[in-house]
Amino acid sequence: MSATPAEPVTPTRRNAWSALALLAFINLLNYLDRNVIFALFEPIKRDLLLSDAQLGWLGSAYILVFSLAALPFGVISDLKSRKAVIAGGVALWSAFTVLSGLTRSYWQLFVCRAAVGVGEAAYGPAASSMVADYFPGASRARAMSILAAGIPVGGVLGLLLGGWLESIYGWRVAFMAVGLPGFACALAVSRMVDPTRRAAPLTVRGFVRDLELGVRGFVRQFLPLLVATALGLVAAYELTNRYGADSALDAAVIAIAVAIGLALTIYRWVRLVRTQRRDETPFTRELESAVDDLLDAGRLVLRTPTLVYTFVAGAMISFGMNGLVGWGPTFMTREFELSSGAAATLLGKWGLLAGVLGALTGGAVADFFSRYTRKGRVLTVGLGFLIGGPIAIWLMTIRDIDLFMPVFAVAFFMLSWYNGPITAVIFDVVPSRIGATVVGAYLLFIHLAGDAIALPLVGTLSDRFGLDRAVMVLPAVALAGGIVMLGALRTVAADMQKVVTGR
């Protein structure tokens, strides 16, 4: 895709590592803000009088919107300023994390969590694309693993800080406290050097110009999405008043409305491009190229076997891993009769070290294997789950807290190997010009087909059979995902060669 017109600046090694450190820290905040709600499930359930199914939908509110927004933001990141996309996304998710603490009803909290998903969807594809450009070649998996280290660290800190803050100040203050640091990070992003885009620092005026934003233009171009979302909120509000505590249907209505609105918006853009009404397109002259590249990305996924394996395995891994993170604190609270704060603290202390070491080890192992074979990164992902998956299944049967925690640390260490290598595999088999778009498609698929299903499904099964039985499905599906990923051992070398030869 065409970059923003201006003279690109070649970043120094210091620029690259400084940018990686900032983006990794923002990724930490990303997962902290998305996972903090899981440490607060029990007090939220008490205060708002919710069922486990409703708690599951609160987790999926973020995931559903994040999934749907990731692909469009991936396109925008390839088409426009990646710094503007990242900065805007960080500011948006931080604002709605803070607002989550001010909500007074289930549907208000649901909407805020959904809006957090919009902001974080803007971050993932753009940040991964920038890191891939900063660190090409043999060091890419290590760099991606450092970026991905924010996933276990932020995820665990979300549980740890959420539980600690809730025990002292309550769940509302917990939301507000973890949302504030993101605003400073949004400002820091504006001073970054983009490795392939223009060198000018990002300002508010430049942000608006780069993304061609404007209130009237935004409303006109995204009218189907805005109308569908508004209608979904009205319908959810009426269903809440009519059916009271059973609001799983309300959440489903909102999710369906947003999906329909987004589909209609994209359909309208494609029609406008085809009829050459360029004055009405959201990104004027470049949208036709964006639509073409979006279609190219879709065709690329389908004709690249490695990506097919990666997408399917990623969805299964997302189902299991994010489901375990989401329901883990509640599982410990109930099975070991702990407070929310105590459960989150135990998971945090053991999970923080295990998660960081696991993510960094996975990247190092993948790069080591890659010195000898192009299959090294795929092998690392599969190996982590072949070892960690059975341990995690055993973990769900343990009821001795002194045994549970060390087994949890070993399982979490092994299951954290995949984060950096699986992203590096995508960039290994995809042309760099549409890398963010493909990552956006990947995030859309794995979350819609993965944890968006897992969280409410486990909640529903828990209401019927008990949480101790419901969680058993999670590590089993994650293990199966690791096995599916091994199928790419047969295809990854040939697909990497296609990128080199341009075929």
Tell me, yes or no, if the pTM score tops 0.75. no
**Most confident residue range from 43-52, 218-227, 396-405:** 396-405
Integer Cα distance of 441 and 378 in angstroms: 19
- pLDDT tens digit string along 271-312? 554 454 444 444 444 445 544 555 555 666 667 889 889 999
Nearest CA to 116 out of 168, 178, 23 is that of 178
What the block records as the tokens of 219 is 């409303």
Residues 6+ away with beta carbon under 8 Å from 448 = 63, 64, 67, 68
pLDDT at 19: 87
Mean pLDDT of 462-480: 90
On the 0-12 / 13-18 / 19+ scale of CB atoms within 10 A, 205 is: exposed
Mean pLDDT of 401-407: 92
Integer Cα distance of 262 and 118 in angstroms: 12
Tell me the chain's radius of gyration from C-alpha atoms. Answer: 22
What the block records as the tokens of 272 is 């406008």
Say what angle helices 451-465 and 473-485 make with each other, to 10 degrees: 150
pLDDT at 156: 77
Nearest CA to 35 out of 153, 204, 211 is that of 153
Spans of all domains in the chain: 13-212+283-501, 213-282
CATH architecture of 13-212+283-501: Up-down Bundle (1.20)
pLDDT at 259: 62
- pLDDT tens digit string along 89-114? 898 889 999 999 888 888 889 888 88
pLDDT at 266: 59
Contact 155, 32 (CB under 8 A): yes
- pLDDT tens digit string along 72-83? 776 676 666 788
Contact 58, 100 (CB under 8 A): no
